Chain A
Amino acid sequence: MRILCIVLTLGMAPWSYAQLIGSRGIVNSASYVAPGLPAGSIARGSMFAIFGVGLGPASSPPLTAFPLSTTLGGVSISVTQGATTVNAVPLYVSASQVNAIMPSNAPLGKVSVSVTFNNVKGPPSPATVVNASFGAYAVNAAGFGPSLVYNFIPGAATPLNLPNVAATPNQYAVLYGTGLGPVAYADNVAPTGGDLPTKTEVFVGGLAATVTYHGRNACCAGLDQINFQIPANAPLGCWVPVQVRTESVTVSNTTTMAISADGSPCKESGNALAAPFLAGKKLGVIAALNTPVTEDVGLAAAATVTSDSMMITFQQESASPLPPFNPYFSLPPAGTCTAYTPQGDMFDGDPFPLSGTTGRFLDAGSSLAVAGSLGNRTVKRATGNVRNFQPLGYTYDGSLVPSSLFLKPGSFSLTGSGGADVGAISASFTFPTPLTWSNRGQAIRITRSQGLTVSYLGVPAGQTVVIFGGGVDLPSNATGEFVCVAPAGSSSFTVPATALANVPATRSNLLQSKGVVYVGALPLASPAAFTATGLDTGAIYAGAFIGKTVIFQ
């Protein structure tokens, strides 16, 4: 029996299942916004994606003509709520992914989605259906980054918006996505043009754009098209955030577009890394951050947690027709905010999507030595994810362990022996005196629909104020983050409601949520430079970020 038991275990471990939809594996096919976030539901009439195993055939049969069938490649999808079942319209099927149209008459609220493949019905998986929830396509298919948006030129072709094919203020543009709401006709026939009833707003750099069309693109069932005019005073830059809000409530994922004054390639004068990053140069980036965070949510008494951390990365983007995008380098232009909605807990070390490289990491040696007035530290090179902030020291109120903080205002030196791609490094930087977040004490409950205003003073000379933060909903394993760059010379900045819209609301059980806001400054326009053989650009960013845990409501 022991042998039999072993054989059974080996042969069946994990327990055999023919088909399984992955946990939280049903998402808008354009935005991929995590279920559980405000924009994470599936709109009637929209295209959605199901991820899992054993869902369909090895390759998807072609779609040849309208009307589309409710079965494709032996795959059908049922959407059930109580006694009501409707069939989704499959568009693409494979073993690990199925894309389909949620019927316009799908029941609203919680539903169970099941995939049947070759007459075998798989187990159900939950999803939430809403009337409208727009997801914008990004050219990298990641749900954020450069948007699938075209620059409209009267009487000429409409080029895809790219960093070197920028749009201009007042120009019209065409955005593609899915989730503007149901249609009055069947979802499996050729769509009819015309504005859909769903109220649709477009924001470019936080400014409301004039929408001239919002409805189906007549070519493709489930595909929505929005025509809009870029505001006359739209900010200029390579990653101007674009958001779509439906029914005055639900804000889409944030994608970006390039805007310049005259249609020339975009520029980011306030971001020294933008040009070399877009050009695929060999970059060396070092960030030294001091972060005192006042934590008073979920605690009987407030405590300040201060940590020093440093990140080093040497990388080069690959040559690709698609514009590179990295949340850590592709910052929004001054005066604007972008947002991200990834699955995972971004405040607990989960890797941030696209924060690596499309090309390769450069070997600059295994570590760097950092020396300051309080001693020395060794920082290890990231071999994978760029986001590898290593702790240099920390302390917190009431700690019985002596403070090990390291980054205090003053001079620091960096040395490294180099590696196969990058030569020896010898650099220095000055850690500035932190700014003061003057209204931090008022940042307790943040009403997302009203925006968030932060005030600050004592911004170090030559530095740019950056405000970022967000929340995590632990039960749904989803993060909503915002990143804002304040205008030069400002003493306050308001994070708009559209940037906060997809931050998950803090739960009544505070331990099931995280919420934090940081205000700090970095030398974005003019970081400390360093050189090394094999590098095109070396930049050191040193600054402090003052943090505060908050409740988002």
Chain B
Amino acid sequence: MRLRHRALILAFLALTWGINLNGFGGKQYDPPPLPDDMPFPDDPPDLFTDPFDPINDLPDPFDIPFPPEDPMDNLPDAIAMPFPPDLDDPLDEPSLLPDPFDEIPDVPDLPLPSLPESLLEPQAASSSPTFQLPDPMPYPMRLPFHPAYSGVSAPKTVRTCNAATANTLVIAEPRRNTVAFMATCPYSALQRVSVGNYPVSVRVTPDGQFAWAANVDSASISIVSIASKTVVGTIALPQFNGYPAEPNGVVFTPDGATAYVTNHDANPGSVIYAIDVASRSVLKTIPTDGYPASAAITPDGSTLWVANRADSTITIIDTLTNTVVTKVSADVPTGIAFNPTGTRAYVAEAELGNTIGYLRVFDVSSLATIARIQVGGLPHVVKVTPSGHYVFVTNVASNSISEINAITNTLIRTIPVPGQHPLGIAFVR
């Protein structure tokens, strides 16, 4: 028994090591020096006396799924996903692809009417350590021994905000060349700040101190101080392959050290600018495929995903080296979001027919598609609730928002939106 177990453990070590002990050679073992009176295993397991079969003598440790979501186990067949019947090749007539940025509706005159659900972006993070649950709470966030959420409709809750901790909303107003600050408890207009020309997107830094506006027609980023509501800096973006910069989005690494700006242009002008936030200088330009519609960073900050709608690809970039890791396919991808654990990527796919779109769910580890859920027309922006249990998608052409159960990957409901062309979506407290 003793030799048998010793052999088994050696076999285990062999599997871990990958060493062929039978052919290792006659290395003399010298025990570490110790005082004579200290017990020491001076007769360690003899490596060469017990022939073993590492294949048959031990259960294969590689059979134990690791990580828990072993990317190699039971990969779904991505090509088995139903193919949309009316797919038009986006390369045929790219000019027919509606550009959501061509017809951005006016922001309603401030103040806005109250909204039925929490659909506004908490652009300015509060320093308060506590805050209200941001999404409707059909179930408590932290159930122990958590049962699967079945997607039953949530009982209605009434939002009660705390003005001291409520978010401030920052909205890009391209036609006014401004960004607007709006309080959310109650909703009221605060201030407009003039930035560059045609700012189509604005993002607040992780520390909540600044808002970066992407000015499509100025080839620049305007940096607005949240505290003073003034522009405190401008980053001029260089041309890339002769194409002037047309920045349409900004994302930050969680540590706030690096910003990535998508350049909404055709290949070979399509590029990602990696910018050092502290020095406000361009670190690197990373080529990507045509017309990057948006980008998102995994929650751990390790990779950047870029949705290249014209080429139906997603570029995955390692943020430590700012190099392309790989690309995956998606049908006219627009918006991207990750669940809080970074194990799932949700990608809006804008079918050209304008009547339906899809939300593709990726397993981030294996890059396989695990679900594809039909949503409304021209899905644009994707948001995942902090619990990771729900996903919301704006459908520009359908004037609606799709709510998806992230546990079952099924559509819960479609919420009509008062007004037209919903683009942005976020949660407030």
Given A12-B329, A20-B367, A213-B32, do A158 and B44 touch, yes or no (CB 8 Å)?
A: yes
Taken residue by residue from 78 to 99, chain A's Cβ proximity to chain B (1 for < 8 Å, 0 otherwise) reads as 0010000000000111001101
A window 150-188: CB within 8 A of B: 150, 152, 154, 157-160, 162, 165, 172, 174, 176
Could you tell me the distance between the alpha carbons of A510 and B129 in the complex, rounded to whole angstroms?
Answer: 7
A137: Cβ under 8 A from any B Cβ: yes
Q: Is A349 an interface residue (CB 8 A)?
A: yes
Question: B16 on the interface (CB 8 Å rule)?
Answer: yes
Indicate whether A150 sits within 8 Å of B144 (C-beta atoms), given known contacts A12-B329, A62-B19: no
Find out whether the CB atom of B313 lies under 8 angstroms from the CB atom of A63.
Answer: no
Residues of chain B within 8 A of A6, CB atoms compared = 83, 87
**Minimum distance in angstroms from B1 CB to a CB of chain A:** 8
Chain B CB within 8 A of A375 CB: no
How many Å lie between the Cα of A172 and that of B6 in the bound state? 18
Kindly specify which of B60-68, B108-116, B170-178 makes contact with the partner chain. B60-68
Q: Which residue of A lies closest to B62 (CB)?
A: A97
A477 at the interface (CB under 8 A from B): yes
Interface centre among B129, B142, B324 (most CB of A within 10 A): B142
Q: Are A20 and B326 in contact (CB under 8 A)?
A: yes
Do B162 and A91 have beta carbons less than 8 Å apart?
A: no
Chain B residues contacting A162 (CB-CB under 8 Å) are 5
A320 to B58, alpha carbons, bound, how many Å?
9
| In contact, B87 and A23 (Cβ under 8 angstroms) | no
Interface string of B173-208 (1 = CB under 8 A from A): 000000000000000000000000000000000000
Contacts of B157 in A (CB 8 A): 398, 400
Q: Which of B18-74 contact A (CB under 8 A)?
A: 18-20, 23-25, 27, 29-34, 38-41, 43-45, 47, 58-59, 61-62, 64, 66-69, 71-72
Partner among A23, A29, A148, A305 whose Cβ is within 8 Å of the Cβ of B143: A305
Residues of B within 8 A of A394 (CB): 139-140, 143
Interchain CB contact under 8 A, B40 and A212: yes
Question: Contact at B5–A160, with CB atoms within 8 Å?
Answer: yes
Given contacts A53-B72, A123-B323, A401-B155, contact A293 B144 (CB under 8 A): yes
1/0 per position for A13-26, CB-CB distance to B under 8 A? 11101001011110
- Contacting pair A389 B34 (CB below 8 A): no
Given A91-B19, A215-B32 in contact, is the A23-B364 Cβ separation under 8 Å? yes
Nearest B residue (CB) for A395:
B140
CB distance from A497 to the nearest CB of B (A): 24
* Inter-chain contact total with CB atoms closer than 8 Å: 322
Contacts of A212 in B (CB 8 A): 34, 38-40
Within 8 Å by CB of B33, from A112, A124, A193, A545, lies A193
Decide: B142 and A295 in contact? CB cutoff 8 A: yes
CB under 8 Å from chain B, chain A span 20-42: 20, 22-25, 29-30, 32, 34, 36
Neighbouring B residues of A475 by C-beta, 8 Å? 254, 298-301, 340-342
Identify the stretch in A235-243, A330-338, A340-348, A426-434 within 8 Å (CB) of chain B at 4 or more residues: A340-348
Interfacial chain B residues near A401, Cβ < 8 Å: 155
Q: Is the Cβ of B32 less than 8 Å from the Cβ of A300?
A: no
Cα–Cα, bound, A289→B312 (Å)? 49
Is A547 touching B144 in the complex (CB atoms < 8 A)?
yes
Residues of chain B from 137 to 174 with CB closer than 8 A to chain A in the complex: 139-148, 155-157, 162, 165
Q: Are the CB atoms of B18 and A219 closer together than 8 Å?
A: no
Complex-state Cα separation, A17 to B91, whole angstroms: 23
Cα of A338 to Cα of B323 in the assembled complex, Å: 41
Contact of A91 among B18, B40, B71, B366 (CB under 8 A): B18
A22 to B66, CA, bound (A): 10
Q: A193-B32, A300-B132 are in contact. Are A13 and B144 (CB under 8 A)?
A: no
In the complex formed, the residue of A with least CB distance to B206 is: A509
A contact residues around B96 at 8 Å (CB): none
Bound together, the chains give a CA A13 to CA B81 distance in angstroms of 10
Q: How far is the CA of A15 from the CA of B184 in the complex (A)?
A: 42
B278 within 8 A of A: no
Is A371 interfacial (CB-CB < 8 Å)?
Answer: no
The interface residues of chain B lying within 8 Å CB-to-CB of A62 are: 18-20, 23
CB-CB under 8 A from B328, the residues of chain A are 13-15
Interface presence of B228 (CB below 8 A): no
Q: Are B68 and A126 in contact (CB under 8 A)?
A: no
Q: Tell me whether B368 is interfacial, beta carbon within 8 Å.
A: yes
State in angstroms the CA–CA spacing of A363 and B368 once bound together. 34
Question: What residues on B are CB-neighbors of A174 within 8 Å?
Answer: 41
Partner of A477, one of B24, B61, B141, B341: B341
Residues in chain B near residue A391, CB distance under 8 A? 147
Residue of B nearest to A545 (CB): B144
Contact assessment for A125 and B318 in the assembled complex, using a CB-CB cutoff below 8 Å = yes
Cβ of A300 and Cβ of B300 under 8 Å apart? no
Residues of B within 8 Å of A, CB-based: how many? 106
A300 and B329 in contact, given A124-B320, A349-B146 (Cβ under 8 angstroms) = no
- Docked complex Cα distance between A307 and B321 (Å): 46
Q: Is the CB of A194 within 8 A of B33?
A: yes
Q: Please give the distance in Å from A189's CB to the nearest CB on chain B.
A: 11
Report the Cα distance A298→B365, complex, angstroms: 29
In the bound complex, CA of A103 to CA of B218 (Å): 48
**Distance of A52 Cα from B129 Cα, bound (Å):** 38
A99 & B17 in contact (Cβ 8 Å cutoff): yes
**B70-93 CB contact bits vs A (8 Å, 1 = yes)?**
011000001100010001110110
* CB atoms of B327 and A15 under 8 A apart: yes
CB–CB B25/A141 < 8 A: no
Contact status A289-B145, CB under 8 Å: yes
The complex places the Cα of A99 from the Cα of B16 at a distance, in Å, of: 7
Q: Which of A154, A223, A399, A549 contacts B155 (CB 8 A)?
A: A399
Q: Is the CB of A124 within 8 A of B325?
A: yes
A24, B146: Cβ atoms under 8 Å? no
Asked if residues A343 and B68 are in contact (CB atoms below 8 Å), the reply is: yes
Closest to A474 in B: B340
Which segment, of B7-15, B98-106, B262-270, B408-416, faces chain A? B7-15
Partner of A148, one of B12, B147, B323: B12
Q: Is the CB of B20 within 8 A of A300?
A: no
Q: Does B386 contact A (CB under 8 A)?
A: yes
- List the A side residues contacting B78 at CB < 8 Å: 13-14
| Complex Cα spacing A379 to B148, Å | 14
Residue of B whose beta carbon sits closest to that of A111: B320
Nearest B residue to A5 via CB reads B89
**Residue interface mask A51-71, B partner, CB < 8 A = 1:** 111000000101111100000
Q: Are A64 and B30 in contact (CB under 8 A)?
A: no
A511 within 8 A of B: yes
The contact string, 1 if C-beta is below 8 Å from chain A, for chain B 367-384, is 111000000000000000
Interface residues of B (CB under 8 A from A): 2, 4-6, 8-9, 12-13, 15-20, 23-25, 27, 29-34, 38-41, 43-45, 47, 58-59, 61-62, 64, 66-69, 71-72, 78-79, 83, 87-89, 91-92, 125, 129-134, 139-148, 155-157, 162, 165, 254, 298-303, 312-313, 318, 320-321, 323-329, 331, 340-343, 364-369, 386, 388, 429
Which 10 A-B residue pairs are closest in the complex by CB-CB distance? A92-B18, A193-B32, A62-B20, A141-B61, A475-B299, A389-B145, A305-B140, A477-B341, A123-B325, A391-B147
Q: A51-B67, A353-B68 are in contact. List 8 more A-B contacts (CB 8 A).
A: A1-B89, A9-B79, A9-B312, A14-B369, A63-B19, A141-B16, A194-B33, A509-B125
12 contacting pairs across A/B (C-beta < 8 A): A2-B89, A5-B91, A15-B328, A17-B326, A51-B67, A62-B19, A123-B325, A141-B15, A190-B27, A218-B29, A223-B17, A305-B142
